[in-house]
């Protein structure tokens, strides 16, 4: 499994979760991953914060029509989803 995000970035996101005292793991998405200032500290650029680091979760119709509908959406996706961070940490702890 190849992750588009580096190990130090995921580790910093996980440390931010601990420092911010978020009791549930899925709270990192609205609180941390959509915060542009915090994600810039981790090392993501503005495009990655707004659109994500991959096309996973994007409607397949948008990719079939060769139109990028993400540019019209005002919502910030965040660079990665909370499940990706959880999978990365889980895989790290299992090895």
Per-residue pLDDT tens over the stretch 36-92: 999 999 999 988 888 888 876 666 555 444 445 445 555 788 888 888 888 888 988
User: Range of 73's domain?
Assistant: 7-94
The Cα–Cα gap between 84 and 77 comes to 13
Whole-number pLDDT of residue 66: 46
* Helix-then-strand count for the chain, H and E: 6, 0
The answer to whether position 1 is within a domain reads no
Instruction: Answer yes or no: is 37 within a domain.
Output: yes
| Number of domains within the chain | 1
The rounded distance, in Å, linking the Cα atoms of 2 and 24 is 26
* Stretch 26-38: mean pLDDT: 91
- Residue 1: pLDDT over 50: no
Higher pLDDT pick, 25 / 73 = 25
Identify whether 29 is part of a domain. yes
Residue 80 lies in a domain: yes
Question: Is residue 78 domain-resident?
Answer: yes
pTM above threshold 0.75? no
Cα 91 → chain centroid: 17
Looking at residue 19, what is its pLDDT? 94
In a domain, residue 2? The reply is no
Q: In this structure, how many other beta carbons lie within 10 angstroms of the beta carbon of residue 76?
A: 17
Residue 21 lies in a domain: yes
More confident residue, 73 or 24: 24
Q: Which pLDDT value is given to residue 60?
A: 59
């Amino acid at each position: 499994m190849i992750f588009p995000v580096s190990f130090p970035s995921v580790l910093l996101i996980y440390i931010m979760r601990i420092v911010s005292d978020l009791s549930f793991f899925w709270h990192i998405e609205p609180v941390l991953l959509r915060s542009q200032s915090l994600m810039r500290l981790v090392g993501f650029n503005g495009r990655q914060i707004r659109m994500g680091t991959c096309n996973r979760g994007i409607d397949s119709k948008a990719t079939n029509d060769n139109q990028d509908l993400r540019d019209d959406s005002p919502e910030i996706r965040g660079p990665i989803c909370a499940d990706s961070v959880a999978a990365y940490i889980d895989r790290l702890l299992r090895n």
